[in-house]
């Protein structure tokens, strides 16, 4: 494990208020997992645990702060532990050791009644296979979480109709899941989750079963909603492009252990090890790296730039804009309009070259 996210006091305090903090989380699957936790903590490998004791190491010493109001993507290949991890957050799986803190309370230590209330009121989940009730209409499926909470149907239907409209399904309220496409069914799943008004949205491979174009459309819908709602979203995926597009923070798992945590730019530009470097080798850097990353002071012999670009815009878009305008230099500004520096076309082109392309040149 390398480049673990630092749990400083300020970040941990913010997580305790409305984000999530995962501390020293372990999960061993088997008939007597507690018996082997010390051996795992002392360094027993996943392979040895399985071969010698017929137990499977699902998660190993996971430490992660999930900031409030942001999208945290947890990604990895099949068997990495990502779906196991997300199911710990709402107590669907109990850890062998560790803590999961939300608003200063440990989800792991909650009794059955408190855990049920936490699931109903604080979290909502969107599944890969949609998990819609086939005998319920779109409207009735969207109302489902509110029905469980005991909200009067006259009130729940108002809320449900609002979110059905927001995800682009107005007019389909009376349809049943079998009458909808896969993308439409997933929109119902998203509307149902949002109708609960939960602080935490758990999305387990939510778009993986969709065709590529529909998948990109759903990613766009999610980002547009998040721009307004600022939910704490934990999104599970095996797709790096999806992770880079959605994640404010990305955590990469391998064999149940955390390999690297950071922004998309951190991971692409500063991979923690050879495994991560191989992961990001073919990434289109122009769609990830932002202008602010390359901003530098303007030299004395450079003219005042004719063009200004926002610091959060990715290089691919800036390169096209500058090329179309026939300029080689642009001013870079932050959200408040303050100047961060300048960026030149040559630096953009150089930064967009992937390691793989450089090796082939």
* Residues 194 and 163: beta-carbon distance below 8 Å: yes
CA nearest to 199, candidates 230, 228, 163: 230
Angle at 338 between CA 318 and CA 10, to 5 degrees: 100
The confidence band for 82, taking pLDDT boundaries of 50, 70 and 90, is very high
Query: Which SS3 state, helix, strand or coil, does residue 19 take?
Result: coil
Instruction: Say what the pLDDT of residue 1 is.
Output: 45
Let me know: does 344 contact 329? Beta carbons within 8 Å. Answer: yes
Band (126; pLDDT cuts 50, 70, 90)? confident
Q: Strands across the sheet with 339-344, in order?
A: 307-310, 329-333, 339-344
Give pLDDT tens digits for 144-176. 989 888 899 889 999 999 999 999 999 999 999
Intra-chain end-to-end CA distance of the chain, in Å:
33
Closest CA to 346 of 269, 307, 294: 294
Give the whole-angstrom CA distance, residue 205 versus residue 186: 11
Which two structure tokens, joined as six digits, stand for 145? 């979480």
**Residue 360: band (very low, low, confident or very high) from pLDDT cuts 50, 70, 90:** low
Closest CA to 296 of 341, 344, 347, 345: 341
Q: What is the pLDDT of residues 243-260, one digit of tens each?
A: 999 999 999 999 999 999
Report how far residue 42's alpha carbon sits from residue 225's, in angstroms, rounded to the nearest whole number: 44
pLDDT digits (tens, 9 = 90+) for 18-63: 689 999 999 999 999 999 999 999 999 999 999 999 999 999 999 9
Three-class secondary structure of residue 22 per DSSP: strand
């Amino acid at each position: 494990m390398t480049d673990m996210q630092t749990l400083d006091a300020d970040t941990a305090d913010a997580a305790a208020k409305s984000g999530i903090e995962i501390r020293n989380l372990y999960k061993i699957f088997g008939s007597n997992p507690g018996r082997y936790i010390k051996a795992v903590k002392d360094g027993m490998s996943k392979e040895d645990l399985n071969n010698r004791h017929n137990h499977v190491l699902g998660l190993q010493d996971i430490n992660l702060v999930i900031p409030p109001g942001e999208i945290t993507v947890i990604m990895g290949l099949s068997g990495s532990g990502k779906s196991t991890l997300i199911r710990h957050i709402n107590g669907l799986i109990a850890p062998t050791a560790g803590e999961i803190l939300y608003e200063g309370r440990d989800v792991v230590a909650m009794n059955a009644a408190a855990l049920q209330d936490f699931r109903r009121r604080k979290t909502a989940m969107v599944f890969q296979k949609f998990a819609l009730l086939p005998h319920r209409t779109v409207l009735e499926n969207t109302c489902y979480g509110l029905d469980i909470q005991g909200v009067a149907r006259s009130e729940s239907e108002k809320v449900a109709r609002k979110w059905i409209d927001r995800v682009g399904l107005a007019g389909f309220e009376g349809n049943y899941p079998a009458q909808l496409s896969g993308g439409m069914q997933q929109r119902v799943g998203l509307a149902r989750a949002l109708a609960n008004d939960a602080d935490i949205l758990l999305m387990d491979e939510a778009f993986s079963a969709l065709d590529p174009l529909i998948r990109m459309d759903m990613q766009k819908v999610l980002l547009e909603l998040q721009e307004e709602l600022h939910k704490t979203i934990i999104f599970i995926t095996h797709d790096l492009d999806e992770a880079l597009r959605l994640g404010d923070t990305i955590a990469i798992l391998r064999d149940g252990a955390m390999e690297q945590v950071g922004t998309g730019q951190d991971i692409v530009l500063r991979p923690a090890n050879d495994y991560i470097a191989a992961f990001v080798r073919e990434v289109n850097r122009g769609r990830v790296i932002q202008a602010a990353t390359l901003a530098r002071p303007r030299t004395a012999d450079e003219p005042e730039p004719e063009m200004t670009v926002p610091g959060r815009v990715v290089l691919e878009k800036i390169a096209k804009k500058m090329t179309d305008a026939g300029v080689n230099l642009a001013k870079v500004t932050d959200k408040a309009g303050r100047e961060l520096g300048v960026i030149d076309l040559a630096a953009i082109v150089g930064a967009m070259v992937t390691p793989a392309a450089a090796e082939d040149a």
